[in-house]
Amino acid sequence: MVKEMKERKMFVGVVWNCAAELKLFLTALLFLCTLATILQFLPSRLSLFPSDLRLCLSTISSSPPPLPPPPHQLDHILQGGAFVKRAFNPLGSAAYSFIQMGAYRGGLNTFAVIGLASKPLQVYAKPTYQCEWVSSTTNQSSTKSAVIAQQILPDWGYGRVYTVVVLNCTFSDPVGVGTVDGSGSGSGGKLILRAFSNGGGDRDFNSTVEMEALREEKGSVNASIYTTSPPKYDYLYCGSSLYGNLSPQRVREWIAYHAKLFGERSHFVIHDAGGVHEGVLEVLKPWMERGYVTLQDVREQERFDGYYHNQFLVVNDCLHRYRFMAKWMFFFDVDEFIYVPPKSTIKSVLDSLSEYTQFTIEQMPMSNRLCLTADAGKTYRKWGMEKLVYRDAKRGIRRDRKYAVQPRNVIATGVHMSQNVVGKTTHKVEGRIKYFHYHGTVANRREPCRQLVNATEVNFQDTPYVLDTTLRDAAPSIKRFEFKTIGTVLQRTPQ
């Protein structure tokens, strides 16, 4: 009995002396039991596994340590304060040296790299770019000689923090095509791009960055594309960046009109910079499903402060991405409608201009608010091209033009024309092709008719207008074409 009392006191004493440790153990046990219970009720997609924890821990442990700050320089005071050598302490970086959007083969021995570069660096310094082709085969030299890239700045000085740069990398011999004459299917390799600041930004340093601009797998290159094969399309549209709250109905009219004009061997590349919301996407989907449209999401470019949603960047990428896929490439906007006279076709007009690499197109500016009195009460049922029928008749002013090119002979391009073509350019196309411009209508979700007019000529807000029903007369055939091609899926498209 005495022995049992002693053992009981000893146990109580041990527990009392270890009370803190015991509380901690019991708390930990309770937490683990609670966690195990909660995990049973989580959906499978949220389940946690040991591998997840290991990945999380490895990510944390593998994060690179922050770069140490540059040594802080101090002013040096000499000669008792009569002479002071001041110190300057740089911190951070104002802009990226180069931001690549795309890199494309332009022939058996040439490539194009399209991107953004720091505008101050381009304007006030002399940065250079170097290209190097590294072959993936062992039966030829593993590395071709590096070449200095030719720089083209196509945005006419409009850049902001960043400006557009098109880099042309041309080697002395064919690279990555298997044989010297380019008859192979591609030996594979990669294009390395290096950017040198050459003291721009800090004359004490020649900052150098390197990236893999393009990789080609073995057998992936069809060299005949650059030599003998005809293009896939007769006509290809390269659109500028679409942004804002666009009207689905105006986009519907535009795509139907031009799909009919250019025909089945045409293609439209639309660049979404935030303007292809759900309503616009519903309009494009039927045409995408039938192979007329490719939609590219370029919203990420908004991170980089370039001119006007980086439209010069977008059109140059489009040029080089599809350069060998089309005979003719058009550059204009979604509030502009290309027109050829009734006795002509787009083919006959372009055949007559085949000796030119580039031609520009005359603008017919239309009112975006004047409509006919005869349409009162039924404007909401009519397409924009039907009801907006008054053309700006002011004379003696220079108007913007849009243009088309034979892309294989174009090195870089712009918004209203290209200044980097091989071959001739003509601006004398009056009577053969023009475009009607409904400025601002595609960004207007409301009914555009603001004033009804019953006259063939009118002066409105100090601008003379004349009645022009050219596209109004064409609208019924466009509607029939849309119905025949995609059915009634877009009949209830909102403004």
pLDDT band of residue 202 (cuts 50, 70, 90) is confident
Q: Enumerate the β-bridge partners of residue 457.
A: 466
> How many CB atoms sit inside 10 A of residue 71's CB?
7
If we measure between CA atoms, which residue out of 317, 287, 321, 280 comes closest to residue 301?
317
In a domain, 39, yes or no: no
In a domain, 271, yes or no: yes
Residues 452, 360, single domain; the answer is yes
pLDDT band of residue 402 (cuts 50, 70, 90) is very high
Helices (H), 90-238: 119-124
CA distance 346 to 341: 9
CA distance 237 to 249: 20
Q: Is a pLDDT exceeding 90 seen at residue 51? A: no
Residues 156, 186, single domain; the answer is yes
Higher pLDDT, 397 or 262: 262
Please report the pLDDT score of residue 450 as a whole number: 93
Residues 342, 381, single domain; the answer is yes
Question: Which amino acid does the sequence have at 188?
Answer: G
Residue 462 structure tokens:
């100090």
Q: Is a pLDDT exceeding 50 seen at residue 36? A: yes
CA distance 163 to 119: 5
Please report the pLDDT score of residue 63 as a whole number: 47
- Mean model confidence pLDDT for the chain: 87
Residues 248, 129, single domain; the answer is no
Q: Is 435 helix (H, G, I), strand (E, B) or coil?
A: strand
Kindly write down the DSSP assignment for every residue of 152-165, as one continuous string: E-TTTT--SSEEEE
Please report the pLDDT score of residue 57 as a whole number: 41
Residues 280, 370, single domain; the answer is yes
Return all residues near 144 (Cβ < 8 A) that are at least 6 apart.
Answer: 132, 133, 134, 135, 171, 173, 175
Residue 429 structure tokens:
């196309």
pLDDT band of residue 200 (cuts 50, 70, 90) is confident
Please report the pLDDT score of residue 204 as a whole number: 76
Residues 323, 431, single domain; the answer is yes
Q: Which region, left, alpha or beta, applies to residue 364 given φ > 0 means left and ψ of -120 to 50 means alpha?
A: beta
Tens of pLDDT, residues 373-396:
999 999 889 999 999 999 999 998
In a domain, 115, yes or no: yes
Residues 210, 271, single domain; the answer is no
281-288, Cβ contacts within 8 angstroms, sequence gap of 24 or more: 282/248, 282/490, 282/493, 283/248, 283/251, 283/252, 283/255, 283/490, 283/493, 284/251, 284/255, 286/486, 286/487, 286/489, 286/490, 287/255, 287/259, 287/486
Please report the pLDDT score of residue 430 as a whole number: 87
In a domain, 338, yes or no: yes
Residues 175, 248, single domain; the answer is no
Mean local confidence (pLDDT), 9-28: 55
The 8-class DSSP code of residue 60 comes to H
Please report the pLDDT score of residue 143 as a whole number: 57
CA distance 169 to 195: 13
Q: Is a pLDDT exceeding 70 seen at residue 27? A: yes
Highest mean pLDDT among 19-33, 50-64, 283-297: 283-297
Domain count, the chain: 2
pLDDT band of residue 48 (cuts 50, 70, 90) is very low
Q: Enumerate the β-bridge partners of residue 271.
A: 241, 296
Q: Is a pLDDT exceeding 80 seen at residue 157? A: yes
Q: Is a pLDDT exceeding 80 seen at residue 147? A: yes
Tell me whether strands 358-365 and 434-437 are parallel, antiparallel or unpaired: parallel
Q: What is the CATH number of the domain that holds 121?
A: 2.60.40
The answer to whether the CB of 185 falls within 8 A of the CB of 222 is yes
Residue 193 structure tokens:
């791009």
Mean local confidence (pLDDT), 400-411: 97
Mean local confidence (pLDDT), 468-482: 97
Handedness of CA 324, 326, 328, 329 (dihedral sign): negative
In a domain, 169, yes or no: yes
Tens of pLDDT, residues 70-119:
688 888 888 777 899 888 888 877 889 999 999 999 999 999 999 999 99
| pLDDT more than 90, % of the chain | 67
Higher pLDDT, 354 or 227: 354
Q: Is a pLDDT exceeding 90 seen at residue 37? A: no
CA distance 317 to 239: 11
Please report the pLDDT score of residue 62 as a whole number: 46
Tens of pLDDT, residues 314-364:
999 999 999 999 999 999 999 999 999 999 999 999 999 999 999 999 999
Mean local confidence (pLDDT), 121-139: 87
Place of tokens 């033009």: 401
Residues 358, 480, single domain; the answer is yes
Please report the pLDDT score of residue 73 as a whole number: 83
Q: Among 190, 223, 256, which residue terminates a domain? A: 223
Tens of pLDDT, residues 425-466:
999 998 999 999 999 999 999 999 999 999 999 999 999 999
Residues 375, 244, single domain; the answer is yes
CA distance 101 to 104: 10
Q: Is 385 helix (H, G, I), strand (E, B) or coil?
A: helix
Q: Is a pLDDT exceeding 90 seen at residue 401? A: yes
Please report the pLDDT score of residue 384 as a whole number: 95
Return all residues near 157 (Cβ < 8 A) that are at least 6 apart.
Answer: 163
In a domain, 37, yes or no: no
Higher pLDDT, 7 or 127: 127
If we measure between CA atoms, which residue out of 73, 74, 70 comes closest to residue 91?
70
Residues 211, 149, single domain; the answer is yes
In a domain, 334, yes or no: yes
Lowest mean pLDDT among 87-91, 135-139, 220-224, 398-402: 135-139
Q: Among 179, 195, 223, which residue terminates a domain? A: 223
Residue 178 structure tokens:
């298997």
Residues 152, 240, single domain; the answer is no
CA distance 201 to 197: 8
Helices (H), 90-239: 119-124
Please report the pLDDT score of residue 12 as a whole number: 44
Q: What is the CATH number of the domain that holds 376?
A: 3.90.550
Q: Domain range for residue 145?
A: 98-223
Please report the pLDDT score of residue 76 as a whole number: 85
Q: Among 174, 191, 223, which residue terminates a domain? A: 223
In a domain, 61, yes or no: no
pLDDT band of residue 61 (cuts 50, 70, 90) is very low
Give the predicted TM-score (pTM) of the model. 0.83
Q: Is a pLDDT exceeding 80 seen at residue 42? A: no
Q: Is 100 helix (H, G, I), strand (E, B) or coil?
A: strand
| Residue 378 exposed, middle or buried by CB count within 10 Å (0-12, 13-18, 19+) | exposed
Question: Which amino acid does the sequence have at 107?
Answer: G
